[in-house]
Chains A and B, each alone.
Chain A
Amino acid sequence: MIEKFFLAINNELHNHFLIDKYQKDALLMLTEYTKNYKYRRLAELLMLLSNIQEMMSTISLDKIFFQHLINRISMQNLLHSIIHHLPTYFP
């Protein structure tokens, strides 16, 4: 299973259909939740997220916060290590 991570050459996700479905479900739930606000709140939050996405593309969080770790391990491997060991430390 671990080898699968490293053997994958392309960046395509396997479950595009499922991922789209979950994203649409979350959007629908957010719409339902903010129904009383009509669509104003939803539009406000989506716009905020969109702006954040743009701004975050200019910020390297790994360099700001994890520079001391990245000297020893790549961010990708750090994330992989956390995912792999998470059940051990927080069952």
Chain B
Amino acid sequence: MGSRSELLYFAWLNTKVRVGALILALFVILAIVGPLFARHDPNAYVGPPAHPPSSEYWLGTTTFGQDVYSQFVHGLRATFIVGLLGGGIGTLLGVCIGLLAGYRGGMVDEILNMFTNIVLILPTLAVLIIIAAYLTVRGILVESLFIGCTAWPWAARAIRAQTFSLRAREFVDLARMSGRSSWKIMFYEIAPNMLSYLFMTFILQFGGAVLIAATLDFIGLGPTQGISLGLMMNNAVLWAALPLGMWWWLIPPGAAITAIVGALYVMNVGLDEVFNPKLREL
């Protein structure tokens, strides 16, 4: 009937969504295409140390002579991968647990709630340090897994609340009277009605994962190999990039993270208006 295209129309019309999506798209393209233009390996010592941006090294070099541009675009890729994986795992866990707790209620809800609360108050940093102590070699996968497994609680809470309100609706009663099993109802009746909510949850998880990853990398608890934006910032600060005037090392990664996460959050606010007709301005 046009309700889908109507949504897309409003989405495009909404400035916040448009601007946010464009910024994001820019960085995604950079992450995909950028490394193809990187002539050097990100961690290799290839050039004159602490050199400002030039035609040879587009974003200059680090204290050790590494190509900042190469680090930047490879780091972008890593950041996006963590965001997708970590955010994805977090969303999946949050949705499954939230749906189950919200729909079944009773004892199931109590137990899941307890579990959610425990994970919520876990001192993630402390746990990570302990894990870091045991896993001397860590990759992006482990990092994503860790982020996903600790970031889901608030998503579960939100989904649970939504499920509670949806489960009382009459079309759910109708499905029950049609003899549908609980699982079918949860995934085929309730979840599709929360699509906008699920979408926004994923966006927030994505943004959150990027931020957490950057933080972890910054304090040195990230992957032991490879490069990421957070790690770049870590190194830059460690080697006193700012006092020494090497702005080209510190600013790009920081600005990129701010821009990406900012764009995601702004898109989220805009999407809220898109999905909720009452918030729209006509």
Do A and B share a complex?
A: no
